[in-house]
Amino acid sequence: MNGLPVSCTEKTIEDCIRKQKRRFFRTGAFLFCVMLLSAALSVRFGSAPLPWAKIAPVLLGRDAESVEARIILYSRLPRTLGCLCCGASLAASGAVIQSVLENPLAAPNLIGINAGAGLAVALNGALFPGAAALTPFAAFLGALAGAFTVLLIGESTGASRLTVILSGIAVSSAFSGLLDLTLTLAPDALSAYADFRIGGFSGVVMRRIIPACIVSALSLALVLSLTPQMDILSLGADYAQSLGLRVRPVRILLLSAAAALAGAAVSVSGLLGFVGLIVPHAARRAAHGESLPLILFSAFGGAAFVTLCDLFGRVAFAPYEVPAGVILSLLGGPFFLWLVLRRRRNDYA
C-alpha cells in the first residue's frame, strides 16, 4: 500500500493499514471541521458583524423578514456557498491534474484550463445572452479544450515537466487573448469583466451557484470513484498498462472530470488562481500518496482556504473589500516560484 511508514517493517501490514486509516480519518475530520468553521465565520462576519443568536433562526427558516435575514440569505449565504463550491472544485481539479500529468507544478490556472473556461463563458454571453443557465456547461467545454490541448502537447512531444507548464502558460495566454478579442467585439458578453479577470465572489447569487454545485458534485463523485485507477496510474504509465489499466481512457476521463470541476468554479468565481496549486501540495503530504484521501483532503482544504481568503479580504481592509483573487495571487505567486526553485535544486543535487 502506498505511503506506509518505514516503521511498518517492525509490525504487521494489517496494523499499519489500520493505523494509517485512522490517521486519514482524523485528518479528514479535522479539515471538514475547519471547513465548517470557516463557513460559519464567513456568514457571521463582514462589513457588519452579526450575532450568532440572529444567525441560527434565519438558517432554520424563522425570522425571515428581518434585516439580518436579508443580509444572510441574499448576500452572505450565497457568497459562502460559492467560496466552498469553488474552493473544493479548484483544489480537487488541481490534485487530479497533477496526478494525471505526473507534474506537481500543474494547476488549472497555469495550464490553460481556467483561461479556456473564461473564454467559453464570454462566448456564451456573446452568442446566447439569455442563456445564463448554460454558463457552467460552456465553462466545462472551454476548460476541457485547455486540458486536452496541454495533454496533446505533452503526449506528442514527450516534453519535460517544465516544458509542459510553459506550454500551458502559452495556451493560457492564447485563450486570454481570444477572451479580450471577444470582449472587444461584444463588450456586454461579461458583466463586471475586471472582477471576472481577478476572481472573487462579490455579487454572487444562488441562481449562478446551484448549476455549478451540481456539476461539481457529479464530477467530484466521478473522481472519487476513479481513485483506485489513480493509484495505479501514479506508478507510471508503462507499469500501469502492464497491470491491465487502460491508461489513455482513464486519463481522458479524469481530465474531463478535472475540467468540469474547474469550469464550474470559473463560472461562479471568475479566473481564480493558485488554489489548485497550493492546496493539493499540502494535501499530498497528509495523504502519503493515496488518491482517495488526497482528493478528499484537497476538497475540504480548498473549500476552507478560499472561504478564509475571501473573509480576510472583506474584513482586514474594511470599509474596502479586496477580492479573493488578489489574496490568492499574493500567496500563489511566491509559492509557485518556491516550487520551481526547489525542483531545480533537486534536479542538480
Digit-coded pLDDT (tens) for 34-91: 999 999 999 998 877 888 888 888 877 777 777 888 888 888 999 999 999 999 999 9
Q: Which domain holds residue 135?
A: 6-348
The pLDDT, as a whole number, for residue 77 is 92
Question: Secondary structure of the chain: what % helix, strand, coil (to 5)?
Answer: 80, 0, 20
Lowest average pLDDT, out of 35-39, 150-154, 181-185, 222-226, goes to: 150-154
Average pLDDT, the chain: 84
The pLDDT, as a whole number, for residue 227 is 93
The pLDDT, as a whole number, for residue 25 is 92
The answer to whether 82 touches 204, Cβ cutoff 8 Å, is yes
Report CA Rg, the chain: 21
Q: Which residue has the cell 490556472?
A: 109
Q: What is the mean pLDDT of residues 158-164?
A: 64
Query: How much of the chain exceeds pLDDT 70, in percent?
Result: 90
Lowest average pLDDT, out of 43-47, 131-135, 198-202, goes to: 131-135
- Does pLDDT of 24 surpass 50? yes
Q: Which three cell numbers stand for residue 347?
A: 534536479
Q: Is residue 105 part of a domain?
A: yes
Residue 246: Cβ within 10 Å count: 12
Instruction: Look up the CATH number of the domain holding residue 167.
Output: 1.10.3470.10
The pLDDT, as a whole number, for residue 348 is 38
CA 171 to chain centre: 19
- Burial group, residue 320, by CB count within 10 angstroms (0-12, 13-18, 19+): exposed
Amino acid letter, residue 202: S
- Burial group, residue 266, by CB count within 10 angstroms (0-12, 13-18, 19+): buried
Higher per-residue confidence, 122 vs 95:
95
The pLDDT, as a whole number, for residue 310 is 94
Q: Is residue 1 part of a domain?
A: no
Q: Which three cell numbers stand for residue 83?
A: 467560496
Query: How much of the chain exceeds pLDDT 90, in percent?
Result: 26
Instruction: Of 302, 296, 309, 290, give the one whose Cα is nearest residue 29.
Output: 296
Confidence category of residue 110, pLDDT binned at 50, 70, 90: confident
Handedness of CA 186, 190, 192, 197 (dihedral sign): negative
How many independent structural domains does the chain possess?
1
Q: Is residue 310 part of a domain?
A: yes
The pLDDT, as a whole number, for residue 48 is 78
In terms of DSSP H, where are the helices of 226-290?
227-233, 237-242, 247-269, 275-287
Report how far residue 347's alpha carbon sits from residue 270's, in angstroms, rounded to the nearest whole number. 35
Helical packing angle, 206-225 and 247-269, nearest 10°: 160
The pLDDT, as a whole number, for residue 248 is 83
The pLDDT, as a whole number, for residue 349 is 41
Q: Is residue 297 part of a domain?
A: yes
